[in-house]
Structure 1
Amino acid sequence: MNIGYARVSTIGQDTAIQEASLRALGCSILYMENISGKDTNRPELQRMIDNVQAGDVVYVTKLDRLARNTKDALFIADALKDKGVGLVCMDLGQTDINSDFGRMIHTVIAAVGEFERKRILQRTQEGREKAMANGVKFGKPVDDELHTSIVDCWNRGMNKKAIAEHIGCSRTTVHKVIEGI
């Protein structure tokens, strides 16, 4: 039986394109989820691995939909192979990843994907640090009126909980303002 697995990482993304591609391949059962691929502890992935049977073939549109790092990609491939299940990644030319050639390609592509993900995270962090060094402030802008009200209440002897209730903001906001005085 042809089985499809589709995954997106964020709420704003949609599995529709992956679903259409998998259905076009004749996948009669689809496992779809909206969760990060950073680890293998994903409900639909685990359900798929539990439910597949010898002779089934699992299709994914791209390797990074299955796993974000080489170790996890190989772990999933091994779990399927141990059950006698094929694994085909459409962006690798529909090569069965559990064949010798497919395994080699799968390992190299997974390693490159993991490397690229780490580089993106590194560049993002470097950009954030540079922006902060140049005075860019991240997060919600400070509401000067709210800030002044919190400080006034604090100076009058009100506790943080009372200030939050009086002004109508969170205790966390009150705490951050007071700690910043």
Structure 2
Amino acid sequence: MTLVRTYLRASTVEQDATRSKQELIAFAKEYNLPIACHYVENVSGRSLNRPELDRLLNDSNEGEILLVESLDRLTRLKKDDWGILKARILAKNLAVVSIDIPTSHQALKPLEGDSMQAGILDAINNMMLDIAAVMSANDYEKRRKRQAEGIANKKGKFTGKKDNFELQGEIAGLLKAGNSYSEIQNLTRASRTTIAKVSKRLKA
């Protein structure tokens, strides 16, 4: 039976890194998959120096599941650093499953169909993980910029025209890639109304 290893991270010691533990346990239980171990640490997602994540990768066996609440718990790394971490994950042939990325859940289900279908699903999931990793890194940069400029609103979103334009560009790219409204909401935190407006403009 495939084992699951959960990774829980918070950026500072003041934050509770274990807050999502019960959610991860319940999620694994839905698929009748046992959790081998929980790996918990308080460290920035921008850093590759993460002892507990290193321990998880060292402990893991080929084909196991690395389960996270959302991909930003695993990475807010810059592109090159994400490439390094992803290579380590692929070297162990681990499947990354993020609760907020529905396409990643395929790794938890019994494989049906031929090897070509499995390859297509893997390719789609890898693409979605890469997109989510880029967005997590971009979100980190935006948060830092927001803090520096002091322009955050109550919802914690940017209000400037440039940032709205960037968000719409991200949405347009995801729509063109064939992602559903729900997937785009999970990845960008945009409202369905905003996604619909971008979709309408693309079809015009």
TM-score normalised by the shorter chain: which range applies?
0.5 to 0.7
2:76/2:137 contact within 8 Å kept = yes
Amino acid at match of 1:72: D
Moved over 4 A (4+): none
Contact 1:74 1:107 (C-alpha < 8 Å) held by counterparts: no
For residues 27-52 of structure 1, the C-alpha deviation after alignment (integer angstroms, 9 at most, x for no partner) is: 23111111111111111011111111
Quick check: 1:85 aligned with 2:94? Answer: yes
Q: How does 1:122-133 map to 2 (within 5 A)?
A: 122-127=145-150
Structure 2 CA distance for aligned equivalents of residues 78 and 9 of structure 1: 23
Tell which deviates more after alignment, 71-80 or 105-114. Answer: 71-80
Please tell me the root mean square deviation across aligned C-alpha atoms, in Å.
2.2
Task: Give the secondary structure class of the aligned counterpart of 1:124.
Answer: helix
Question: Residue 69 of structure 2 contacts residue 98 of structure 2 at CA under 8 Å; is this kept in 1?
Answer: yes
Report 1:66-105 matches (<5 A): 66-69=74-77, 70-93=79-102, 95=104, 99-105=122-128
TM-score between both structures, scaled by the size of structure 1: 0.63
Where 1:28 maps in the other structure, the secondary structure is strand
Map Cα deviations across residues 125-165 of structure 1 (whole Å, 9 max, x no partner): 1239xxxxxxxxxxxxxxxxxxxxxxxxxxxxxxxxxxxxx
Q: Deviations over 1:95-125 (max 9, x none)?
A: 1689211111111111122122212211221
Shift of residue 62, structure 1, vs aligned partner:
0.7
Q: Which residue does 2:169 correspond to in 1?
A: none
Code of the aligned partner of 2:38: L
Give the Å deviation of 1:94.
Answer: 5.6
Question: Does structure 2 retain, via aligned residues, the 8 Å contact 1:3–1:29?
Answer: yes
- SS of residue matched to 2:135: helix
What's the counterpart of residue 37 of structure 1?
Answer: 45
Q: How many residues align?
A: 128
Query: 1:123 corresponds to which letter in structure 2?
Result: R
Q: Is the 8 A contact 1:6 1:60 kept in 2?
A: yes
Q: Which is higher, the Rg of structure 1 or of structure 2?
A: 1
The normalised TM-score by structure 2 is: 0.57
Equivalent position of 1:143 in the other structure:
none
One-letter amino acid matched to 2:21:
E
Q: CA deviation at 1:5?
A: 0.6
TM-superposed deviation, 1:89: 1.1
| Identical pairs, percent | 27
Instruction: Provide the rounded CA distance (Å) in 2 between the counterparts of 1:106 and 1:5.
Output: 16
Aligned residue type for 1:78: A
- Aligned partner of 2:140: which letter? R
Which 5+ residue runs of structure 1 have no aligned equivalent?
129-181
Unaligned runs of 5+ in 2: 29-33, 108-120, 152-204
